Amino acid sequence: MVSLDEMATRKVSTPEKNVLFAVDATQAGAGNLEVIVRCAKDGTRIPNFLESTGRSGKFRIYFTPKSYCNEYQVDVMFNNEQVSGTWCFMTFGMH
């Protein structure tokens, strides 16, 4: 089992400021974790960074919202399988 923390549905107030959330894959066993972030408006891929917290199976993921996009689709995959759907982040004060 892989889970996202509550930050995965938080609202972001400022563009160009990192959005950070955590993924816990400790119960999933060995495997490959992949995170894809896209602008929901046009599908543009947004660079994101995945780093281990130092504890086996726990990761921090962050990306920087862009001024041209106010909604993001975040897909989390574990061993090429979608993890419990898609999450969106909303930003405000940009449009």
Query: Does pLDDT of 40 surpass 80?
Result: yes
pLDDT band at 12 (very low <50, low <70, confident <90, very high): low
pLDDT band at 44 (very low <50, low <70, confident <90, very high): very high
Given this model, what pLDDT does residue 93 score? 52
List phi, psi (to 5°) of 8: -65, -15
* Number of continuous H segments (helices) and E segments (strands) in the chain: 0, 9
pTM: 0.76
pLDDT band at 42 (very low <50, low <70, confident <90, very high): very high
